[in-house]
């Protein structure tokens, strides 16, 4: 639910509904979606009368489906496993067996949904969650339409959540958008980006627009540059290599999650907090990105790399090209660093740097805002100054929080300066952990609030930017080279050079 003033946001209360999950025997449903619904139930936030209908092709009874979900919920739920809450939820879980392209399966789904509503007093609201591999997205949407399940009936609503990846380039994203919008109205379409559901990502707008002290400084006059880092200490575990080979770091993380974070940190204040009010401003940021539209510009502003064998968390790990389901000649990047410029009045001349990599020393995602140095006229003369004295760090995960680095006098009789840190940790300030991103996002979709979901134009603008880079890498005559870094290190030397060219360094995490 939108945390802001109720009278300023257009959304309704979460209502009873049937949530149909396509791909319900899969990993996402078991590890994320059902545990998220369970946690909402534990916190008393799930409206009574929410039903979950799993749709997949293998044979399973309702009971078998429930017990498989329960087994995993016990392992992964952030609030443990309460038998009473679970059994109440489980009474409302059903399984529907069908192939994604079988028209009869959707006809019988429609009948089953009506029957569940009739027996259990449901209203007929429907939330369709497409949690399948992307090659099935079209089929599922078209079959929903053919079965009339896309239409809101008798004062009820029908909405669709579409999982990532939302296309693999601009053309495929546009095609998918055509299919989605010919099936569901844009206002009933929820393109999920789980980074937008993370607590600190949501807090970005609050930090910027509910505190009078930051916004006056939030521009090229006071900010030297910003960095967005997403470090992961995993490689291609669990057979992910096959998927990753077709994706790579740029498409897997930058096109969606990291450009979404960039748009939140760089957008103008929205005129209101409605879904479109916020998304209108976010899309302007992505639309204003200077395009790296030649191989030369890509070589100058983007670094791609693969890891070689090394050690992460004290364990020996393989190089990217030796990973399961990865080609020994792979030209897929497991690391990317991009220098971005946003051609707006506010950000003229301020570089933004995004880096993302697998098999780095630790898992950490953060945004750092580096302020310009104070004039060097007073303390500089005595001490040499403290360059990079003011940095605001927004920790997205783990240890969610915000810190501000400032320069202080070291106690003593002489004038010596050193940076110190003011630190806010969610866990200690609020005394409780944050909900999982999927909890918040599922509840928002049930409540009809699309603020934290990507709109069609945002997705397409992001692909427009990414496509030029992918084109230079894979389709040009002089592709920029692939760099290397040792697994467990902080990335390739070329990425350090990229930021050093502007006189900056990556923040040490
Ligand atoms: N797993 C994760 O953590 C994340 C996943 N995602 C995205 O979510 C989506 C699903 O991922 P994930 O759960 O990992 O995938 P899985 O491969 O684990 O699950 C695929 C599901 O699709 C069903 N399925 C496949 N083919 C058919 C068919 N022809 N007809 C009916 N059902 C079929 C399978 O059913 P059956 O078992 O009956 O074959 C299974 O339920 C992907 O788009 C992925 O990118 C996004 C973020 C995180
Ligand atoms: O979407 C994806 O996200 C995960 C990282 O998510 P996080 O919430 O753990 O930060 C990433 O590992 C994966 O490759 C990507 O597909």
The per-residue DSSP string of 200-232 comes to HHHHHHHHHHS-TTTGGG-STTTEEEEEEEEE-
- Complex ipTM, two decimals? 0.97
CATH number at residue 141: 3.40.50.720
For the cut 90, the answer to whether the pLDDT of residue 386 exceeds it is: no
For the cut 60, the answer to whether the pLDDT of residue 5 exceeds it is: no
What domain range includes position 317?
197-369+450-500
Q: Read off the pLDDT of each residue in 9-30 and give the average, rounded to a whole number.
A: 86
Tokens (6 digits) for 358: 């697998």
Identify whether residues 260 and 362 lie together within a single domain.
Answer: yes
Distance CA 203, CA 209 (A): 10
Give the pLDDT confidence score for residue 10 in this predicted structure.
Answer: 44
Residue 391 placed within a domain:
no
Identify whether residues 315 and 454 lie together within a single domain.
Answer: yes
DSSP 33: I
DSSP 454: B
Residue 252 Cβ inside 6 Å of ligand 2? The answer reads yes
Residue 455: which pLDDT band, with cuts at 50, 70 and 90?
very high
Give the pLDDT confidence score for residue 447 in this predicted structure.
Answer: 95
For the cut 50, the answer to whether the pLDDT of residue 275 exceeds it is: yes
Residue 173 placed within a domain:
no
Residue 418 placed within a domain:
no
Tell whether residue 194 is among the known ligand binding residues.
yes
Residue 374: which pLDDT band, with cuts at 50, 70 and 90?
confident
Q: What residue owns the CA closest to ligand 1's atom 21? A: 23
CATH number at residue 249: 3.30.360.10
Q: Read off the pLDDT of each residue in 417-441 and give the average, rounded to a whole number.
A: 89
Give the pLDDT confidence score for residue 105 in this predicted structure.
Answer: 98
Strand duo 315-317 + 310-312: pairing: antiparallel
DSSP 40: H
Distance CA 467, CA 254 (A): 12
Of the residues 147, 163, 179, which one is the last residue of a structural domain?
Answer: 163
Identify whether residues 454 and 336 lie together within a single domain.
Answer: yes
Identify whether residues 26 and 135 lie together within a single domain.
Answer: yes
Q: What residue owns the CA closest to ligand 1's atom 2? A: 28
Q: Read off the pLDDT of each residue in 64-72 and give the average, rounded to a whole number.
A: 97
Identify whether residues 74 and 117 lie together within a single domain.
Answer: yes
Residue 172 placed within a domain:
no
CB 222 within 8 Å of CB 374: no
DSSP 373: P
Give the pLDDT confidence score for residue 426 in this predicted structure.
Answer: 87
Identify whether residues 216 and 159 lie together within a single domain.
Answer: no
Q: Read off the pLDDT of each residue in 94-107 and give the average, rounded to a whole number.
A: 98
Identify whether residues 211 and 116 lie together within a single domain.
Answer: no
For the cut 60, the answer to whether the pLDDT of residue 433 exceeds it is: yes
Residue 11 placed within a domain:
yes
Residue 185 placed within a domain:
no
Q: How many domains does the chain have?
A: 2
Q: Read off the pLDDT of each residue in 364-378 and give the average, rounded to a whole number.
A: 91
- Spacing, Cα 409 to ligand 2 middle (Å): 41
- The model carries a pTM of 0.95
Identify whether residues 25 and 135 lie together within a single domain.
Answer: yes
Identify whether residues 116 and 234 lie together within a single domain.
Answer: no
Residue 4: which pLDDT band, with cuts at 50, 70 and 90?
very low
Of the residues 140, 163, 186, which one is the last residue of a structural domain?
Answer: 163
Q: Which ligand 2 atom is at minimum distance from the Cα of 256?
A: 1
CB 181 within 8 Å of CB 189: yes
315 versus 11: which is more confidently predicted?
315
Give the pLDDT confidence score for residue 12 in this predicted structure.
Answer: 59
Residue 99 placed within a domain:
yes
For the cut 80, the answer to whether the pLDDT of residue 474 exceeds it is: yes
Q: Which of 28, 106, 162 to mutate to test the pocket of ligand 1 (most atoms within 8 A of CB)?
A: 28
The position carrying tokens 């449903």 is 29
Backbone angles phi, psi at 492, to 5 degrees: -75, 155
Identify whether residues 218 and 92 lie together within a single domain.
Answer: no
For the cut 60, the answer to whether the pLDDT of residue 460 exceeds it is: yes
Identify whether residues 157 and 204 lie together within a single domain.
Answer: no
Residue 374 placed within a domain:
no
Q: Read off the pLDDT of each residue in 421-432 and give the average, rounded to a whole number.
A: 88
Give the pLDDT confidence score for residue 385 in this predicted structure.
Answer: 61
Of the listed ranges 118-132, 199-213, 379-393, 464-478, the one predicted with least confidence: 379-393
Average pLDDT, the chain: 94
Q: Read off the pLDDT of each residue in 81-90 and give the average, rounded to a whole number.
A: 96
**Residues marked as catalytic:** 257
Identify whether residues 274 and 137 lie together within a single domain.
Answer: no
Distance CA 237, CA 484 (A): 20
Q: Read off the pLDDT of each residue in 235-262 and give the average, rounded to a whole number.
A: 96
- Spacing, Cα 275 to ligand 2 middle (Å): 24
Of the residues 139, 163, 187, which one is the last residue of a structural domain?
Answer: 163
For the chain, how many residues are written? 509
For the cut 50, the answer to whether the pLDDT of residue 477 exceeds it is: yes
Looking at the CA of 198, name the nearest ligand. 2
**Cis peptide bond prior to 421, omega within 30° of 0:** no
- Spacing, Cα 228 to ligand 1 middle (Å): 30
């Amino acid at each position: 639910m939108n945390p802001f003033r109720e009278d300023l946001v257009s959304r309704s209360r979460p209502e009873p509904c049937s949530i149909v999950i396509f791909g319900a025997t899969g990993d996402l449903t078991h590890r994320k979606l059902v545990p998220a619904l369970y946690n909402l139930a534990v916190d008393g936030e799930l409206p009574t009368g929410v039903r979950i209908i799993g749709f997949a092709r293998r044979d399973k009874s309702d009971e078998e489906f429930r017990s498989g979900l329960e087994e995993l919920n016990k392992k992964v739920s952030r609030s443990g496993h309460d038998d009473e809450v679970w059994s109440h939820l489980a009474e409302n879980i059903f399984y529907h067996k069908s192939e994604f392209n079988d028209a009869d399966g959707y006809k019988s789904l429609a009948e089953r949904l009506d029957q569940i509503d009739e027996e259990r007093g449901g209203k007929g609201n429907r939330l369709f969650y497409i949690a399948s591999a992307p090659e099935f997205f079209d089929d599922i949407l078209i079959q929903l339409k053919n079965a009339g399940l896309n239409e809101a009936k008798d004062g009820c609503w029908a909405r669709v959540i579409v999982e990532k990846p939302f296309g693999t380039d601009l053309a495929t994203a546009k095609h998918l958008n055509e299919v989605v919008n010919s099936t569901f109205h844009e206002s009933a379409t929820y393109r999920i980006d789980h980074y937008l559901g993370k607590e600190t990502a949501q807090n970005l707008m609050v930090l910027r627009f509910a505190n009078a002290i930051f916004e006056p400084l939030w521009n090229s006059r006071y900010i030297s540059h910003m960095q967005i880092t997403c470090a992961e200490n995993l490689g291609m575990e669990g057979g992910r290599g096959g998927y990753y080979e077709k994706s790579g770091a740029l498409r897997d993380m930058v096109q969606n999650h990291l450009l979404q974070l960039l748009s939140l940190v760089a957008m103008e204040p929205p005129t209101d907090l409605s879904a479109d009010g916020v998304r209108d401003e976010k899309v302007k940021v992505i639309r204003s990105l200077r395009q790296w539209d030649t191989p030369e510009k890509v070589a100058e502003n983007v670094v791609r790399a693969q890891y070689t064998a090394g050690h992460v968390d004290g364990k020996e790990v393989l190089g990217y090209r030796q990973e399961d389901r990865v080609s020994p000649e792979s030209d897929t990047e497991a690391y990317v660093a991009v220098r971005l410029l946003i051609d707006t009045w506010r950000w003229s001349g301020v570089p933004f740097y995004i880096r993302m990599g697998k098999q780095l020393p630790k898992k950490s995602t953060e945004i750092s805002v580096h302020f310009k140095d104070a004039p060097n006229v007073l303390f500089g003369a005595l001490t040499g100054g403290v360059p990079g004295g003011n940095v605001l760090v927004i920790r997205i995960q783990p240890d969610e929080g915000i810190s501000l680095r400032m320069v202080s006098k070291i106690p003593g009789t002489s004038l010596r300066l050193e940076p110190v840190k003011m630190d806010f940790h969610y866990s200690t300030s609020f005394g409780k952990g944050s909900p999982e991103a999927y909890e918040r996002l599922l509840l928002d979709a049930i409540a009809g609030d699309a603020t934290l979901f990507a709109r069609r134009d945002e997705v397409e603008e992001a692909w427009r930017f990414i496509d030029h880079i992918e084109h230079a890498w894979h389709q040009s005559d002089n592709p920029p080279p692939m760099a290397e870094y040792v697994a467990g290190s902080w990335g390739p030397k070329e990425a350090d050079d990229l930021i050093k060219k502007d006189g900056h360094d990556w923040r040490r995490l």
